[in-house]
Amino acid sequence: MQTPSIKRSLFLLSFLFTGVLVAQDKPLGNETVIVVKPYTPSVNDAFKIKETPVLGDSVSLEKKPIKYSIFSVPVASTFTPSKGRATKVEKDKRIKLYDNYITLGFGTYSNVLAEFYSNLEISKSDNFGVYLTHNSSQGGIEDVRLDDKFYDTELNLNYSSRNKKSSWNTELGLQHQLFNWYGLPEQTRLTNELVTAIDPQQNYISGILGGKLELYDSFLNKASANYRYFGDSYDSAEHNFKADGAFEVNIADELISTKVFADVLSGKFDKGYNDPNELNYSQMIFGITPSLLILRDDLTLNLGASFVYGLDTENSDSSFYIYPQVTASYRLAGDYFIPYAGLEGSLSQNTYYNFAQENPYVSPTLNIAPTDKTYDAYVGAKGKLTNSIGYNLKGGYASEINKALFLANFSNPSSTEDYAYGNSFGVVYDDINTLSFSGEINVDVNRDFKLGLNGSFFSYNSEFEAEAWNLPEMKASLFMDYQITEKWFAGANLFYTGERKDREETIDGGGALGSRTITLDGFTDLNANLGYRFNDQLSIFAKGNNLLGDNYERWSNFPVQGIQVMAGATYKFDYK
């Protein structure tokens, strides 16, 4: 008879073998179990279960593959999605660019306008250009006793080259201008015979030769040099040579730039206005302007100074100047509000050429000297009100020593020159302090319609002269550009210049000469143009100047032409 312990052992063994038989694919065979001794448990047999048990089973069980399938049932749906449609993007018609064009127009006062431009491609990197322009009028201003016609013809030849490392260009320019000193003062007591004998014609001849160089991977960033000759019908001659270079280097992530420049001027006039002796002048200006550009997030700060040496070789006089060159701007509200400020100065070369371009009625008897702009301090703000409206507001105060002012010449009874009847202008110099305020706003109504408005106000304080002669107290302009349709286009400009002061000669009952200060009225000038484009090559235009019909005086005793209308055509083409 078996003991209870033997029965438990047999039960456990039979249970384990049964589990194995169930887990196997095939049943096990008959085996004999021999019990050596009965089971006697002890404490030593107890052991601690590890967190990660090690499987010591010598039988490796392979997982059976699982096969499954989804029983899908179709569901009826009445939803039909609409097809997407791509939004159309308006694409501008590609404009054919032509290398050449010619313009010809005719108008009232026998006005003639002619332009010709041609660009010849020498190679993939080199181009040669020709530009010729002519603008003339046969005159015809009412109540003018002298001839008032004018001509302005200019020819420019240029050659340019560009590659990966540099670009350069050279130019040769020739210009001929004809004007007349037709502004006889009303109080001038001249007989008709004497007026008929006056030949008020003045011819200006100008020529310029120069070039520019730009290097992309060099500390020498840009360099330029040019020489200009300017002369007239009275044996006046002026020579002006200019050269400058800009150097840039990066040190500790900061940009340090240096500009060097030279401006050499010499010239002569056959005589002075009240002096029969020849007038000679010679001015040299040399300078260097180092500056440090600091960029910090929204801050842009330029710290620099100009060191300038001026030499008057004719009078053996020289001076050394130091000018501030400091500007700063900060994006306080992105592109919507950018305050800025600056403190700058310069020694500016005055030339006979520049005077004649600003006021062609000057006499060939001028005193030429540079202007010392001691400082020009300004503060302002610019930005945009919306994506289509931009603005710029600025206020400033400038101090200038030897600022050139145009002043009407007195008649010279001892001279027989055709400009000596009070019908020309001279130049005087004064120390002028100027307080100014200006503002502008530009509106892009859409890509076809643009508007712009700007205005400036000035207050002058002169040191020696009674007034700041011929400087306006206000300037304003309004412009419009409108692409009406694909074929039609139009534009308009409205200019306003405020009152100016000038000097007028007086003669008392005894014939003695005197003078008084006069005020020239402000004037408004409206110009407009309208055009029609037949195709990419041919277009016609009509334009009008001084459409308000005001025979205002830009310079005292020199009224301008009234309403001027011109019509013409432009043709673009290629040689190929």
**Local structure of 12: helix, strand or coil:** helix
pLDDT of residue 483: 94
pLDDT of residue 17: 40
**How do strand 299-312 and strand 332-335 relate by DSSP bridges?**
unpaired
pLDDT band at 198 (very low <50, low <70, confident <90, very high): very high
pLDDT band at 20 (very low <50, low <70, confident <90, very high): very low
Read off the amino acid at residue 292: L
Task: Report the C-alpha gap between 470 and 362 in whole angstroms.
Answer: 13
Task: Name the more confident of 573 and 514.
Answer: 573
pLDDT of residue 514: 78
**pLDDT over 90 for what percent of the chain?**
71
Query: Is pLDDT of 429 > 50?
Result: yes
pLDDT of residue 26: 46
Stretch 220-236: mean pLDDT? 96
For all residues of the chain together, what is the average pLDDT? 86
Task: Name the more confident of 537 and 57.
Answer: 537
Read off the amino acid at residue 126: D
Pick the CATH number of 100-573 from 3.40.50.720, 3.40.1710.10, 2.30.110.10, 2.40.170.20: 2.40.170.20
pLDDT of residue 218: 85
pLDDT of residue 38: 52
pLDDT band at 191 (very low <50, low <70, confident <90, very high): confident
Task: Report the C-alpha gap between 561 and 319 in whole angstroms.
Answer: 45
pLDDT digits (tens, 9 = 90+) for 168-186: 999 999 999 999 999 998 8
Query: Is pLDDT of 62 > 90?
Result: no
**pLDDT over 70 for what percent of the chain?**
82
Output DSSP code: residue 297. Answer: T
pLDDT of residue 575: 87
pLDDT of residue 88: 58
Stretch 18-24: mean pLDDT? 40
Helices (H), 343-441: 352-358
pLDDT of residue 404: 97
Query: Is pLDDT of 7 > 50?
Result: no
Tokens at 94, concatenated: 């590609």
Tokens at 4, concatenated: 């209870």
Stretch 301-319: mean pLDDT? 95
pLDDT of residue 25: 45
Query: Is pLDDT of 48 > 70?
Result: no
Q: Is the dihedral of CA 119, 122, 126, 128 positive or negative?
A: negative
Q: What is the DSSP string of 425-444?
A: EEEEEEEEEEEEEEEEEEEE
pLDDT-wise least confident of 71-75, 107-111, 126-130, 476-480:
71-75
Query: Is pLDDT of 46 > 70?
Result: no
Task: Name the more confident of 220 and 225.
Answer: 225
Query: Is pLDDT of 81 > 80?
Result: no
Query: Is pLDDT of 52 > 50?
Result: no
Query: Is pLDDT of 72 > 60?
Result: no
Query: Is pLDDT of 3 > 60?
Result: no
Task: Report the C-alpha gap between 418 and 203 in whole angstroms.
Answer: 13
**Which residue's entry shows tokens 């660009």?**
119
Query: Is pLDDT of 39 > 80?
Result: no
pLDDT digits (tens, 9 = 90+) for 443-493: 998 889 999 999 999 999 999 999 999 999 999 999 999 999 999 999 999
Task: Name the more confident of 520 and 252.
Answer: 520
pLDDT band at 84 (very low <50, low <70, confident <90, very high): low
**Which residue's entry shows tokens 């277009």?**
539
Task: Name the more confident of 508 and 434.
Answer: 434
Stretch 161-168: mean pLDDT? 93
SS (H, E, C) 303-345: EEEEEEEEEECCCCEEEEEEEEEEEEEECEEEECCEEEEEEEE
The length of the chain in residues reads 576
Task: Name the more confident of 359 and 186.
Answer: 359
Query: Is pLDDT of 95 > 70?
Result: no
Task: Name the more confident of 299 and 95.
Answer: 299
pLDDT of residue 68: 46
pLDDT digits (tens, 9 = 90+) for 251-271: 877 889 999 999 999 999 999
Stretch 190-209: mean pLDDT? 93
